[in-house]
Amino acid sequence: MNVQAYLMFNGRTEEALAFYTQAVGAEVTALMRFGEAPEPPPPGMVPEGWNEKVMHASFRVGAAELMASDGCQSDAAGFAGVSLALSVATTQEAETRFAALSEGGQVTMPLGPTFFAPAFGSLVDRFGVSWLVVVVAS
C-alpha cells in the first residue's frame, strides 16, 4: 500500500512544477494535458480553454513521489489542513530550501533552532501549499 499527496493547482500546475524544480530540485516524471486525453471529458467538466492545462503530472522530490493537476475547477478553494514536510540533512540546505520556497509566499514560523531539530520553520508558498522544513538531527 502507498499513500501519495495529489496537489490541485487550479490552473497553475505548470508554473508550480517549474517553481518546485528550482526551489527543491523536483524532477517531473510524467505530464499529460487535458487536450491529450484519449477520450474527451464529459461536457462541462473541464473549464473552457483548458486543453493545454495539466490533467495529471507526477514529480519526485528526493524519494517522495507527488502528483499534481490543474483540476477541473478554475475557482476551487486552496489547500487546508495538510503540510508537506521537507526533511534535509544540514542547516545550510534548510536555509536554501526555505528561502526558495518562501519566495512570493508567507513565512508562518521563521527557520531557526528548536528543541527537536537544529533548524525548523514553516511557510505557505506562492501556490498556497503549506511546507514544514526541518533538519533531521543525526
Is this prediction's pTM over 0.75? Answer: yes
Contact 67, 55 (CB under 8 A): no
**In 1-134, alpha helices (H):** 13-24, 91-102
Residue 80 confidence class, pLDDT cut points 50, 70, 90: low
Over residues 1-46, the pLDDT tens digits come to 677 999 989 899 999 999 999 999 999 999 999 999 888 877 888 8
Over residues 86-123, the pLDDT tens digits come to 999 999 999 999 999 999 999 999 999 999 999 999 99
